[in-house]
Amino acid sequence: MKVVIIGAGLGGLALAQRLLDNGIDVQVYERDSAIEARFQGYRIGFGTEGLDALYGAVRPRLHPLLEAVSGRVERTGRAVDPQLNVLGEQERDNDEGRMYDRNVLRHLLIAGLGEHLRFDLKLDRYEELADGRVRAHFADGTAVDADVLVGADGAGSTVRRQLLPHIGIHDLPVYGAIGRTPIAGFEHLIPGWSTVVSAKDVQLMLGRMVFQRPPVEAAAELAPDVTLPDTPSYIRWVLLLPGAPKTLDLQPVLDLIEDWHPDLNALIAQADTANSGVSPIKEGDPIEPWPTRAVTLLGDAGHPAPPGGLGANLAMIDAELLADKLIAIRDGQQQKLAALADYERTMCENAAAGRAAAAQAFQNFAKLRAEA
C-alpha cells in the first residue's frame, strides 16, 4: 500500500514517521523549497493527550532530545495592565504539558525521513482513478499515484477545497500582530508561563518559550545525527486587536501601545522581524463526516482553526488515529473505505472539541477587553 501525504507541517510529518516506522510505503510532498522557507517559529503548547501522541510519532531514541528542547509550563500565568501592575494570577500544574517551538519540532520530526520527504512540490489537484486509487498532480506538471492521499496541507488546504468545497474560511472579528523576541533582559515581564497585558482595545499575550537546553547543544549530545536550528529562548507575543487589519505593516499596530510601559515597547521593538508580522485571524466552517473516498484530511486541513485552539494537539492525535487505520488496511484487518470512514468520524468529533476550545479562548479575550 502506498500513502501520499501533502504537506510537511507537524501533522503530515508525524503521520509519515508513524507509517515509516510500521513499514508502510509513504511519501510526503511539501510546496516550500526547504524547511526554513517561511515564518515558522512560534511557540505551541501541548496538553497531556497531544503530548502522548507527539511522543508516539518520535522514535524512542529521540525522546530524551524531545524532552530537552521542550519548555516547562511553570508557575503562574498572570494578567497585568499596560503599566505592568498585576491584575490577577492563575496557577497551573507544572507537569501537565510542554511548550515547543514549531520550527524546532519540525526539524525533529523530519529526522530519518530522508528520501520520503520531497520539497518544492506544490499539489495542484488530485484525480480519483477508476481502480480506487488516487493521482496527485503537482504544479510542475509531475504526478504520483497512491492508494490513499492525505491532505495535511494546512488551513488553506488545496485537498480540502477540492474534496469539501462547501467548507468556507472566514476572518474572525479580531486580528493579530504576532512575533517573538529573545527573552534575555525581558524575563521579569513573564515570571510564569504566560502574561496577558490587558487594555481597552488591545490585548498583548506574552508566552515564555524557554528551552530546557539550547536545541543545538542538546542535539549534539543526545542525537548528533539530528540537525536542530540555533534558536535562543524567546518570548512569543501576540497583540490581539478588534476589527480587520488595514495594512499588514507592523508599525501602525505598534503605535497603539506607545504609551505603554517602556519595557513592553522595548520587547516589541527588539522582535526578530523574520518571525513577526500582522495577519487576519481565520476560522473554518464546522466539519461533518462526508462520503468517504481514498482521499482524506488531517490537522488544520481537516479542521481549520485560529491560533489559541488545539490545532497542533489535534494534528498529532489525527496522525495517531489515521496511522492505526492505515496499518489495519495494510494488514487486511479492515476495508480501506470503512477504515477511513472510522477515522473521519473521530477526527470530526475531535475537531468540534478544538473549535470549542478556540471559541473559549476568544471569549476570554472579549471579557478581558470589556473589563479593561
What separation in angstroms does the CA of 132 have from each of 25, 56, 163, 294, 326?
17, 30, 15, 7, 15
Is 298:319 a contact under the CB 8 Å cutoff? Answer: yes
Longest Cα pair distance anywhere in the chain, in angstroms?
A: 66
* Stretch of 72-80, 215-223, 256-264, 304-312 lying at the interface with ligand FAD (CB under 6 A): 304-312
154 makes contact with ligand FAD (CB under 6 A): yes
Instruction: List residues bridging with 175 in a β-sheet.
Output: 241, 280
12 makes contact with ligand FAD (CB under 6 A): yes
For Cα atoms 84, 90, 92, give the angle at the middle one, nearest 5 degrees: 130
- What is the arrangement of strands in the sheet containing 71-72, beginning at the earlier edge strand? 43-46, 98-101, 71-72
The single-letter code of the amino acid at 169 is I
Pick one of 5, 123, 189, 226: the residue that binds ligand FAD (CB under 6 A). 123
179 makes contact with ligand FAD (CB under 6 A): no
For ligand FAD, give the closer residue by CB, 163 or 222: 163
Write the secondary structure of 61-111 as one string of H (helix), E (strand) and C (coil): HHHHHHHHCCEECCCCEEEECCCCCEEEEECCCCCCCEEEEHHHHHHHHHC
Cell reading at 309? 485552539
Pick one of 4, 8, 51, 264: the residue that binds ligand FAD (CB under 6 A). 8
151 makes contact with ligand FAD (CB under 6 A): no
Strands 123-128 and 134-138: antiparallel
10 makes contact with ligand FAD (CB under 6 A): yes
Query: Smallest distance from the beta carbon of 371 to ligand FAD, in angstroms?
Result: 24
284 makes contact with ligand FAD (CB under 6 A): no
312 makes contact with ligand FAD (CB under 6 A): yes
Pick one of 3, 7, 150, 297: the residue that binds ligand FAD (CB under 6 A). 7
71 makes contact with ligand FAD (CB under 6 A): no
Query: Smallest distance from the beta carbon of 46 to ligand FAD, in angstroms?
Result: 7
Query: Smallest distance from the beta carbon of 354 to ligand FAD, in angstroms?
Result: 8
| Binding footprint of ligand FAD on the chain (CB under 6 A) | 6-12, 29-32, 42, 44-45, 102, 122-123, 152-154, 158, 178, 299-301, 307, 310-313, 315
